[in-house]
Amino acid sequence: DAGVTQSPTHLIKTRGQQVTLRCSPKSGHDTVSWYQQALGQGPQFIFQYYEEEERQRGNFPDRFSGHQFPNYSSELNVNALLLGDSALYLCASSLASGQETQYFGPGTRLLVL
Amino acid sequence: QKEVEQNSGPLSVPEGAIASLNCTYSDRGSQSFFWYRQYSGKSPELIMFIYSNGDKEDGRFTAQLNKASQYVSLLIRDSQPSDSATYLCAVKGTGGYNKLIFGAGTRLAVHP
């Protein structure tokens, strides 16, 4: 049973650039949530996708956008990168029905210079 | 007041002891609670979830929930050095969707 996968594992960008992170959910899951985890902090909710629509969003600026594809995989896009965007970006998958327990992928570590 | 609060630690316990990790939350309407373990440089790994008041046991782990006091805890019995990690408490947000609200985590160090 394939778990949640994310790519790339690491990424280095410079200020002002744009980045796209990718996530494939656990087999059988239909909902993808994205979190940002700064060093020494707990994960912060960015947004959640279900049925290719953003259905909930956290307190993040419009520079953060996403997409979900018909196969339930998802992308997170960040435009106009700031130094403060350096963090571990986590994707979590779950089922919209049932217990809704979220399982995390290995994460993408983004460094903005 | 933060939505989910945890003592940052480090909590240091000797091998074989019981480690007790605590978490409080502010939204009285919260119904679902999760404990994740995160090793340094890795992603969070689900340990347990609990929905009902009382205790829930899974192997060496026991989650305890008291909704009246807005308090959830995790006990780790017979602690091992491999349990050394950061433990994240997460509360499912209210409002119909399942975003998770995390505490900052408690760092646990189990020494031989």
pLDDT number for residue A109? 98
List the beta strands (DSSP E) in chain B: 4-6, 11-14, 19-25, 33-38, 45-50, 54-58, 61-66, 71-76, 85-92, 100-102, 106-111
Q: How many angstroms separate the CA atoms of B60 and B52, rounded? A: 19
pLDDT at A85 over 80: yes
pLDDT at B4: 96
Largest CA distance in chain A: 42
Give which of B4, B25, B36, B43 to mutate to test A binding, by max A Cβ within 10 Å. Answer: B43
The DSSP 8-state label assigned to residue B18 in this structure reads P
| Separation of first and last alpha carbons in chain B | 37
Burial of A110 (0-12, 13-18, 19+ CB in 10 A): buried
**Is A48 in Cβ contact with B98 (below 8 Å)?**
yes
Specify the pLDDT at position B71. 96
pLDDT in tens, B1-47: 679 999 988 999 999 999 999 999 999 989 999 999 999 999 999 99
Chain position carrying tokens 């890795």 = B42
Interface test with B, best of A6, A9, A26, A37 (most B CBs within 10 A): A37
Q: Å from B77 to nearest chain A CA?
A: 24
A98: pLDDT strictly greater than 70: no
| Residue A102 confidence (pLDDT) above 90 | yes
Q: How far apart are CA A53 and CA A57, in angstroms?
A: 11
- Residues, chain B: 112
Distances (CA, A) of B36 to A113, B42, B89: 30, 12, 6
- Which residues, 6 or more positions from B107, have their beta carbon under 8 angstroms from its beta carbon? B8, B9, B10, B11, B85, B86, B87
Over residues B56-110, the pLDDT tens digits come to 999 999 999 999 999 999 999 999 999 999 999 999 988 767 789 999 999 999 9
Alpha carbon dihedral B56, A101, A77, B94, in 10-degree steps, equals -80
CA distance B66 to chain A (A): 20
pLDDT digits (tens, 9 = 90+) for A20-55: 999 999 998 999 999 999 999 999 999 999 999 999
Closest partner residue to B43 (CB to CB) among A33, A45, A90 is A90
| Spatial separation of the C-alpha atoms in residues A56 and A33, rounded to whole Å | 9
| Residue A2 confidence (pLDDT) above 80 | no
